[in-house]
A and B are shown apart, each in its own frame.
Chain A
């Protein structure tokens, strides 16, 4: 029986049995302890900046050297095809680069419809979907909204705001930029808010700015409307 080059759609994912212990909560239970192997890493999530990808089950990544003795190598993850590869002189460098490669590939393919994908893209996306809980990722993406509101309760620090549409909401300083803690009752502000896609609760507030007044008043909006020039102000004329 021969050992052969696998077809392009074959991506072996062996069970992740070794780990750098407590980092990932996966404990080695086999007979051959590789817990202390610094070239291997078991991942239950992939974190790139503020983006987290939750895996359906722990995946095993490994650093493998280049074929020559120039040093350095590649970081690969079992179950994912070679286009997603991190290179670096040290395992950590290669792992960081791998995460960027994965993140870029995921984001590129995530927004594509199946008919838009080339065969190679489809193979990669199938492997990613097998590994990553894509539905959870979709559900975790916050709604980013710009809102205008006013602090309506601030004793001893801002506790609640009233938004432009009249709704009131409890706010927590931990989720607000530091400056918000100095706002007094009645202070209007605008904010860029990350809200949970299902509950619409505030997850975090990325940006906040004091404004002079909360919203335009009815009389002001009428004045503005009336100040717009109309055809009534034009002189009488005809085409001839």
Chain B
């Protein structure tokens, strides 16, 4: 599927684990530090839990204990195109397209699976719950003449209400989950409008695709890699099917 103007702006590969019950912060920190040359910026989100106790009926309760837990590491490269998330049970590798070319699924998937191997080695999760791939596409539909379009001319996924008595649609958000016929995992799709594109020359729509590869067992990176490829191919078939010919031409397909 070769497109001169692919609508993809973001993609991530996500792994959900049953975390190691003895899991400590140090291995996670070591894991992040191991990619220090690739991800120079690290952010840490903490969650504080306060314990209150009422000592006297006439006084306000007092704080008697405080525990702090790290809930989220987020690391990124200087350019802001590659990101790595780590929570107690998630490992997520993002790519954000900021002008440069999309490096392709194979490249990003391989990168994520390599990180998965290292994560398993260092953090030793009990098992994997699911792997998932997520795509974010942004589609700009040029505004011509009447300042309105028929969504059915551009998307096969939609809700079309009668003009009488509803009039025109001003905003749009539709979310659905489907079970593809090819036997792969669940696919969740969300289509919504955003503000008009800069300059007001186009309606802007955002499409989210979230494709699951469910597991409930030990972690086999080779199998996960193969399943991610199948999941990607399944999403690509749905991706083509959600657009009409008119929209497809906006992406300038190569023959």
Interface residues of chain A, those whose CB is within 8 Å of chain B, are 1-7, 10, 12, 14, 20-23, 31-34, 36-39, 62, 64-67, 69-74, 76, 82, 89-92
Contact = CB atoms under 8 A, between A and B. Distances in A.
Contacts of A64: 138, 194-195, 204, 206
B151 to A, nearest CB: 5
Contacts, number: 134
A4 B136 contact: no
B9 A92 contact: no
B14 to A, nearest CB: 6
B206 to A, nearest CB: 8
A76 B45 contact: no
Nearest to B4: A69
Given A23-B43, A69-B5, 19 more contacts: A1-B168, A4-B168, A4-B169, A5-B143, A5-B203, A12-B170, A21-B45, A32-B188, A32-B190, A33-B14, A38-B94, A39-B136, A64-B138, A65-B138, A67-B197, A67-B201, A71-B100, A82-B196, A92-B80
Interface in B197-229: 197-204, 206, 208, 210
Contact of B71 (A14, A21, A89): A21
A59 to B, nearest CB: 14
Interface of B is mostly: strand
A7 B46 CA distance: 42
Given A20-B72, A39-B9, A71-B98, A31 B170 contact: no
A11 B13 CA distance: 33
Interface of B: 5, 9-10, 12, 14, 43, 45-47, 71-72, 74, 76, 79-80, 83, 85, 87, 90, 92, 94, 96-100, 134, 136, 138, 140, 143, 146-151, 160-163, 166-173, 175, 177, 188, 190, 192-204, 206, 208, 210
Nearest to B96: A38
Contact of B72 (A21, A65, A72, A91): A21
B140 A62 contact: no
A10 B94 contact: no
B96 A36 contact: no
B254 to A, nearest CB: 16
Contacts of A7: 170
Given A32-B188, A67-B140, A90 B150 contact: no
B168 A2 contact: yes
B210 A39 contact: no
